[in-house]
Amino acid sequence: MSYEIISNTGSRSFPDGDTFLDNAQAGADVAIYLGGASGEDASRKAVLIELDLECLGEHTGENKGDEGSNCVGFARYRNGNDDPSQLIELVRQPKTNEEAIATAVEVLENAGFDVVVCSDQKGRIIDRLVRPKYNAALRFLDEGLATADDMDLTCRLGLGYPVGPVERVIRGDLARHHDISVNLFYETGAAGYAPARRAVVAKRRSAE
């Protein structure tokens, strides 16, 4: 299954030089929009739209839970501004056609990625789950629960994480963590997404 990149205005999933960009073919069955652009094309088996913090519905429009077409959202997971991982989160709507999803999975798995499917909700899978944990770890640090190194060591030794939460969130850039958290907080109102003080500080300093 081949793919064509219709538009690329700067992709977080496939930065310049990524081999995925090199292997695209004009006129392929699958159309891909990278970097915030989007379009519709019913003649394609699937239209893949790269997402950042936004939902797929912002590109396609929504209709009382009946929305869905051959458009599939996706994002290659990055820990903030860290290098992209091998994971791609595919985003579907309630009525997205199943063939489009299967096609998207096939194209991306053939390109060597691990692919998971999730619904069109803010934060998709990983950011939805890890951002509250990073905020909690940053708050614990302020409150003196333990040192950052001891929190990280606890997670590595006790839970088998390759990297502890404090190290990970700082490595991914606290200002980016702030932006992701604020985005989720705005949508959900859940206190766990309220960015921790250290993230707010980093954001303000980055804006200076």
Partner 1 sequence: MTKNIQTVAVCGAGGTMGAGIAIVAARAGYTTIAYDMQEDALQHSYEQTEAFFNKSVERGKMSELERDAALANLSSTTSLEGLAKADLIIEAIFESLDVKRDLFGKLDKICPDHTIFASNTSTLSITEIASGLGRQDKVVGIHFCLPAQLMKLIEMSPGENTSEETFQKAWAWAEEAGQTPVKTQDKPGFILNALLVPFNNDVIRAIEAGVAEPADIDKAIKSGLGYRMGPCELLDLIGLDTQIRLCEAFYPITLDPRASAPPLLRRMVAAGKLGRKSGCGFYDYHQDAMFGG
Point out which residues bind partner 1 (CB under 8 A).
77, 79, 85-87, 89, 114, 116-119, 121, 124-126, 128-130, 132-133, 136-137, 140, 144-147, 150-151, 153-155, 157-163, 165, 168, 190-192
The CB-of-183 to partner 1 minimum distance in angstroms stands at 16
Query: CB-wise, 46 or 130, nearer to partner 1?
Result: 130
4 three-state secondary structure: strand
The CB-of-83 to partner 1 minimum distance in angstroms stands at 12
The CB-of-86 to partner 1 minimum distance in angstroms stands at 6
Query: CB-wise, 27 or 144, nearer to partner 1?
Result: 144
The CB-of-200 to partner 1 minimum distance in angstroms stands at 20
What letter would DSSP give residue 151? H
The CB-of-73 to partner 1 minimum distance in angstroms stands at 13
Between the two ends of the chain, the Cα-to-Cα distance in Å is: 47
Answer whether 183's CB lies under 8 Å from 53's CB: yes
Query: CB-wise, 99 or 114, nearer to partner 1?
Result: 114
Query: CB-wise, 2 or 119, nearer to partner 1?
Result: 119
Which secondary structure element, helix H or strand E, spans residue 110, and what is its range? helix 98-110
Answer whether 118's CB lies under 8 Å from 88's CB: no
* Integer Cα distance of 30 and 62 in angstroms: 22
Query: CB-wise, 59 or 76, nearer to partner 1?
Result: 76
Sheet holding 84-92: strands in order across?
3-8, 30-34, 46-50, 71-78, 84-92, 114-119
